[in-house]
Structure 1
Amino acid sequence: MASLLVGCSQNSNSSESVATSGESGELKLKVAHYYAETHPQHIALVEKFEKTVEEKTNGAIDVEIYPSSQLGDEEQYTNGVRNGTIEMSVSGMGMQNAEPKIGAMELPFIFEDFDHAKAAFEGDVGTFLGDAFSQFGVETLAVTANGFRVISSNREVSSMDDLKGLRLRLPNMDTYLKFGDAMKVSIQPMGLSEVFTALEQKVIDGQENPYATLKESGFYEVQSHVLESNHMFSPNVYLINQKFIDSLPEDQQTIIRDAAKEAAAYEWDLLTQSVDETKQFLADHGIEIVVPSDSFKAEMVEAVKPIHDNVINNTDWGKEYFELVEKYK
């Protein structure tokens, strides 16, 4: 995928008000995310969301996109959207520790492929997720694809025995930690910005993320193998501060919501189309990709069943959620 040269302001000051205006009177809409500028998430925001909103509002809304955690890590900028100092973000499921329904999106081995995930998130599963986020003062404009997660490492992993004790970086979130326990790895929680150095210095043996993140964050430079486990599908959401969007004229609200859906659809296409290209890139750079055997995959799936059972049996929404996921297979 060709790199995109992007001109966007990087020096806006945060404001305690819900909306900020520039010198010419246009409304500032800051969008924060943690992806590199070459990642499909950023490209879709620039080519579709920013362009569409600015054109259709005749410049009344000035979209400023801040990639690569320029406005803080995911927790910081998501909290900024909640309190109104940042208008919008591309966020993952980090708020699952406050709302377990959000974490259910990333339960291991529940989505079969991209088509299954896309249909679910464009349907009732997406509505379920939006409702879960709404209690935090934000509106979910659209769901985008982060992708199916794989495990990169500094040695070959081709069995459950190889996973045992592997010093694996995982996000410090309940769903991930339970997955790590099920795989019997040595869980190493840390922020994404710390991972490259930890891999380079061999503080950890590996990490898990979708292929695009493995490439765009440069992790392939300090890893030798990838286990194509596809153990979780990770969605992202376009979150916007509810007071901010409610304060806009109705026509501008519609423009923003429609532009978000357009950008999200484009991002799904870019991300899914990039997988094979990214795998070839990694192979060309010396990464050995290991596809798990049927028996190894079956062992991993069996190991996470208690996680699923816990959600189904110990929440008042788990059974309904699994039925919604099943509906879109």
Structure 2
Amino acid sequence: MKKTLIAAVVASFAAVPATAADTTLKFGHVGAPGSLFEATVNHYAACVGDKSGGSVEVQTFGSSQLGKDKELLQKLKLGQVDFALPSSVMSSVDSVFGIFEMPYIIKDRDHMRRVQDAMMDTFQGAANDNGYHIVGLAENGFRNITNNIRPINTPEDLQGVKLRTPNGEWRVKMFKQYGANPTPMAFSDVFTALQTGVIDGQENPYAQIASAKFQEVQKYLSITGHVYTPAYILASEKHFGKHSEEVQAMLSDCAAETQTFTYEKAAELETELLGVIKDAGVEVNEADKDAFISASKPIYEAFAAEVDGGQEMIDKVLALGNAS
């Protein structure tokens, strides 16, 4: 039934001449040129333009042009921006999204798909409760640590390291547990802070590290893969609901197609961009993940104690990781 509806929608849009768009939607994000975020948003915009026959245009604005993550969340509600691509900051919107802040809880993208299929109602409900609508999921990726002090092999190596984190309480708690000095900071401010020594390091997927050129101001990359963070193609619930059902279906369908594109692109970049970072002269080491997993137990205990239904969520996600 859904495929039939979407096919009908696409057919109706295709009949519209490719002239000036009837509807223009703004999509703001924090990704730099060449980032996975940029590729994701551009793919989404192209899909919407194609499926609507040009009657709906998504204009893209990267590099925090329309605001940093928290500003974009506010602008969504005000109707000043139509879409944003938040990631870790969602844990500050609702504690439910903190499940993705648990170290090593997501094994791979197939696991993430299973979590999405089984638990999307939970995440959508949390978004709706705060005035947002998740149009679809994309990816930020598996995060690794860069810094200028020393290679990070175990949590003990983070002792005293001033490490930038996104604005999310669980990432801060995690790195405090590991012994670092976490400093929440907007992504757009990180390069200068690293360059001037305000912070010693940061943690991000390769796509964000390389596109933001952190390899130019960092000595060490430690492959920890400590957290996998999804990204959310996010809209205001109120403003998204003003579109016709046909347009909503098309926008959601493009989000699903974009997720598949993003996962494939991210897998390519993981190999390609690690080479870019190494070629810049950054020293790379494989961290002792077992040591990090062992040190992460208190974070899980805190999440279970402080978040309603936290232990149930942890158990469900872990069980889905063991599914075939």
Per-residue CA deviation, residues 66-115 of structure 1 (Å, 9 max, x unaligned), is 11111010110111112222111111131423421122222112112333
Matched, 1:33 2:25: no
Summarize the alignment of residues 36-115 of structure 1 with structure 2, pairs less than 5 Å apart. Answer: 36-47=32-43, 49-115=44-110
Q: Distance in 1 between matches of 2:113 and 2:122?
A: 14
Contact 1:177–1:187 (Cα < 8 Å) also in 2: yes
What is the CA distance between 1:25 and its match in structure 2? Answer: 6.7
What is the CA distance between 1:327 and its match in structure 2? Answer: 2.9
Matched, 1:270 2:265: yes
Q: Secondary structure at the match of 1:328?
A: helix
1:128 matched residue in structure 2: 122
Structure 1 unaligned residues grouped into runs of 5+: 1-22
Letter paired with 2:160:
G
2:314 matched residue in structure 1: 322
Seen in structure 2, the aligned counterparts of structure 1 residues 171 and 98 have a Cα distance that, compared at 3 Å, is: same
Q: Distance in 1 between matches of 2:250 and 2:45?
A: 11
Seen in structure 2, the aligned counterparts of structure 1 residues 25 and 52 have a Cα distance that, compared at 3 Å, is: closer
Q: Distance in 1 between matches of 2:93 and 2:254?
A: 29
Contact 1:104–1:175 (Cα < 8 Å) also in 2: no
Match of 2:281 among 265, 279, 286: 286
Match of 1:313 among 293, 297, 305: 305
Match of 1:209 among 180, 195, 204: 204
Q: Secondary structure at the match of 2:231?
A: strand
Q: Secondary structure at the match of 1:65?
A: strand
1:4 matched residue in structure 2: none
Per-residue CA deviation, residues 241-291 of structure 1 (Å, 9 max, x unaligned), is 222222222221111110111112111110122101111111111112110
Q: Secondary structure at the match of 1:108?
A: coil
Contact 1:166–1:186 (Cα < 8 Å) also in 2: yes
Letter paired with 1:142:
G
Give the % identical residues.
Answer: 27
1:249 matched residue in structure 2: 244
Matched, 1:299 2:291: yes
CA RMSD of aligned residues (A): 1.8
Q: Distance in 1 between matches of 2:75 and 2:287?
A: 40
Seen in structure 2, the aligned counterparts of structure 1 residues 189 and 250 have a Cα distance that, compared at 3 Å, is: closer
Seen in structure 2, the aligned counterparts of structure 1 residues 97 and 50 have a Cα distance that, compared at 3 Å, is: closer
Structure 2 unaligned residues grouped into runs of 5+: 1-18
Q: Distance in 2 between matches of 1:41 and 1:194?
A: 17
Seen in structure 2, the aligned counterparts of structure 1 residues 25 and 205 have a Cα distance that, compared at 3 Å, is: closer
Seen in structure 2, the aligned counterparts of structure 1 residues 306 and 50 have a Cα distance that, compared at 3 Å, is: same
What is the CA distance between 1:183 and its match in structure 2? Answer: 0.8
Seen in structure 2, the aligned counterparts of structure 1 residues 251 and 97 have a Cα distance that, compared at 3 Å, is: closer
1:138 matched residue in structure 2: 132
Contact 1:114–1:272 (Cα < 8 Å) also in 2: no
Q: Distance in 2 between matches of 1:73 and 1:171?
A: 11
What is the CA distance between 1:24 and its match in structure 2? Answer: 5.4
Contact 1:102–1:133 (Cα < 8 Å) also in 2: no
What is the CA distance between 1:214 and its match in structure 2? Answer: 0.6
TM-score (normalised: structure 1): 0.86
Seen in structure 2, the aligned counterparts of structure 1 residues 289 and 136 have a Cα distance that, compared at 3 Å, is: same
Q: Secondary structure at the match of 1:252?
A: helix
Q: Secondary structure at the match of 1:247?
A: coil
